[in-house]
Structure 1
Amino acid sequence: MTLLHDADLTAAFDRGADSYDRLVALNPGYHAHLRRSARRLALPDGGTGRRVLDLGCGTGASTAALAAAFPHAEIVGADASAAMLARARARRGLERVRFVHATAEDLVGRAAHGPFDAVFAAYLFRNVADPDAVLRGVHDLLVPGGRVVAHEYALGGRRSHRAVWSAVCRGVVVPLGTVTGDRALYRHLWHSVLEFDTAPEFAARMRRAGFDGVRVLPLPGWQTGVAYTFAGRRHPVTAGQGR
């Protein structure tokens, strides 16, 4: 299958925005897993004095997870889809969040809204044309010692992981997406995982982008071996360099 990219993918997310939250809510643990990954940024004091970027925030489910984990942080949410972003802006409890309409590539390339103490990215990197460039841009957006967490579908490498993911997509995800008229989007999401890095490969990609202390943390339930939290940080400043 040919995956959707750039403007075509953004248009598909725009079309699917109204039904997206209803479909993902059928995934057991979806919101709990986002909250688990958000907490793994481990910002002290509820995020007091910290700036956090939710890159590829979609309809704001990941932003809500960040707001719950770090109630005192300044949070910026960014997404390429105007329709998804409109739903995020309307989500209750996110009134203090500043939302930006921008692609991941544009935002990290301009670095106009940085620097940040932490960057969170849920289901983003397999949907960008050049994940290495975006990872390097995220690295440069962070303050020294700043933290990154990617919450992502990435297969563990076993045949059983691939089989579970395909079974769920064939039996549940694509049929429901077809009912809502968004079959192309959900077929893309299915195959984007199959064609993306395995979990060890994505961790290696993070290290190549300059991140230290990269950890690969599996998520529980049926998603074990299918979805992970990837955590890392920009190298802390050395003595004499300042912040």
Structure 2
Amino acid sequence: MTTATERMKAAEVTEEFDLAAPAYDRLVSRSPGYHRDLRASAIRLRLPDRGEGLLLLDLGCGTGASTAALAREYPLARIVGVDSSEGMLREARAKRWSDRVTFRRARAQDLTPEWAGEALGGPADAVFAAYLVRNVPDPDAFLAGALALLCPGGRMALHEYSVADSAAARAVWTAVCWGVVVPSGRVLVGRDDLFRYLWRSVLDFDGREALLERMGAAGLVSVASAPMPGWRYGITHTFVGARP
């Protein structure tokens, strides 16, 4: 029997993000701490010198909220946002950015070291992926592929929901989704398919320990996680690791 998550993936999650793109920033603005949490995860990359001379890949950049968090913390880095949704990228590109920030359309799970060499001039110093690993068809293949995009010693941060280890976190997540997220999506987008998928996909996804194990199995070292404060505690986490 397929899960709700698998059914939505078969129906193309990217198309749902295209439809939601014009309203997406208004939706996330209703989530207290959303942008602050992205900045916290960016800080947890612990990159030196405000990113001077570094190349950062923001995989699954969406409308650019995660890109903005990276640009704020590492204003001297070159940042490339990547997303498969043209609608989300259209919203991201419409914002004001420094000339150090660019965007490309691609499926993050399809990127290769050869692509990095041709498109970027070489491997990245850091990979950031917010709310992405849960949405790719094969998380293990994605993590291995993202690791291959890094230079030796390069760092990775996953900013992700993970509630499987906590009954309390699952209950809070469900209450927030059905009390705020799904109704808001229905009003602002005109349909709630993506937001019901969001709720279910988090419940179906790895717990914190399981995701750390995935990262280690993919070849990342020094893997660790840290929670977010407030109502997101036990729900939203930063997961970090590095390429040997």
Output the TM-score relative to the length of structure 1.
0.93
Q: Distance in 2 between matches of 1:147 and 1:197?
A: 21
CA contact (8 A) 1:6 1:129 kept: no
Q: Distance in 1 between matches of 2:11 and 2:49?
A: 39
CA contact (8 A) 1:156 1:225 kept: no
Query: Following TM superposition, by how much is the alpha carbon of 1:182 offset from its aligned partner in structure 2, in angstroms?
Result: 3.2
Q: Percent identity?
A: 54
Q: Which residue of 1 aligns with 2:111?
A: 107
CA contact (8 A) 2:60 2:132 kept: yes
Q: Which residue of 1 aligns with 2:134?
A: 126
Partner AA of 2:204 in structure 1: E
Match for 1:143 among 151, 163, 175? 151
Partner AA of 2:133 in structure 1: F
Matched, 1:190 2:195: no
Q: Which residue of 1 aligns with 2:4?
A: 2
Name segments (4+ residues, structure 1) moved above 6 Å.
none
Q: Which residue of 2 aligns with 1:40?
A: 44
Residue ranges of structure 2 left out of the alignment (5+ in a row): none
Q: Distance in 1 between matches of 2:81 and 2:239?
A: 19
Q: Distance in 2 between matches of 1:108 and 1:29?
A: 33
Matched, 1:96 2:104: no
- Count of residues in Structure 1 that have an aligned counterpart in Structure 2: 235
Cα distance per residue 1:12-39 (max 9 Å; x no partner): 0000001111011111111011011011
Q: Distance in 1 between matches of 2:239 and 2:13?
A: 24
CA contact (8 A) 2:63 2:90 kept: yes
Closer/same/farther in 2, CA of residues 94 and 87 from structure 1, 3 Å limit? farther
Partner AA of 1:25 in structure 2: S
Residue ranges of structure 1 left out of the alignment (5+ in a row): 236-243
Determine helix, strand or coil for the equivalent of 1:111.
helix
